[in-house]
Amino acid sequence: MQFTSIEQAYAFYKSYAKLGGFSTRKGGEVHSGGITKTKYFVCSKEGHKAVCIEDRSSKSKKPYKSRNRGTIRTGCKAHLMICTVDGRLYTVKRFVDGHNHKFVCPDDIHMLPAYRQLSDVQEEEMVWELGTLNLGPVKAFHIMRKRYGGFENVGATVDDCKNFRNRINSYIEECDADMVINRMADKKQYLADYSFKYSVDDEKRLTGLFWANGLCKPNYIEFGDVISFDATFKINRYKMVFVPFTGIDNHC
């Protein structure tokens, strides 16, 4: 059996593994003359978990803490080895199909990490867009479950949705203040009577922000007799005061 690329061979072995009830990963490779001459694809349970050896020569006084995590490795020897002469065609040179572990039943194969992946549509339209509506990743997952007709059709788990949301938050963490100011500026440009002001310190960090939309202003003029000024002091992650102005209208 021959393949035109390493990726084509891996896609074939991955499809075979999914039908068989196990998952795979890319193994070692041998290079020569700038060409990958030999490539291994192995079972995801190949090898054993690395043992952490305490380094007594380390000068660090802080004790090292490792997470007590289990392992799926069982030392499985199943693998596929492909080789090439010129880097154009890869030929199967060795195929070992003997596993030392149980296979996953077809109904649960979608739960293996290798086959769990959020699509671009799921990431953008479901997890991200629903997050802008204050719907968390757990609710986004259950909406996708309803939409796609079951857990097995989502292609991911609740934890995958949470991890994606955490990656987004980590990515925007350094520019979140800029994003807020840009959003306010866009609203001021396109919405009538929208106002906002902000202040920064010497290091250009956001220290204050005030905004009011076009509906708040006439309401204040009409129902400005009773205004609640509620300062919740420094309980958010930014250590900033959040002060909503609440008016009482004729409907209380």
Going through the chain in order, the beta strands assigned E by DSSP cover 2-3, 24-32, 35-43, 79-83, 90-96, 195-200, 206-212, 227-229, 245-247
Portion of the chain with pLDDT greater than 90, in percent? 23
CA-nearest of 10, 65, 72, 19 to 42 is 10
Q: Which one is predicted more confidently, 56 or 113? A: 113
Give the model confidence (pLDDT) of 225-238 as tens digits. Answer: 878 887 776 667 77
CA–CA distance, 164 with 140 (Å, rounded to integer): 12
pLDDT of residue 93: 94
Average pLDDT over residues 129-154: 74
Q: What is the pTM of this model?
A: 0.51
Give the model confidence (pLDDT) of 96-128 as tens digits. Answer: 999 999 898 877 776 777 766 666 656 656 666
Take residue 118 and report the two structure tokens written for it: 């959020």
- The domains of the chain are located at 2-47+70-104, 113-174, 175-247
Average pLDDT over residues 38-53: 82
Annotate 218-232 with DSSP letters as a single string.
HHHHHS-SSEEE--B
pLDDT of residue 231: 79
CA–CA distance, 200 with 122 (Å, rounded to integer): 37
Give, in order, the Cα–Cα distances in Å from 47 to each of 21, 50, 82, 153: 19, 9, 19, 31
Whether residue 49 is predicted with pLDDT greater than 90 in this model: the reply is no
Give the model confidence (pLDDT) of 76-102 as tens digits. Answer: 999 999 999 888 899 999 999 999 998
| Tokens 């991890």 found at | 163
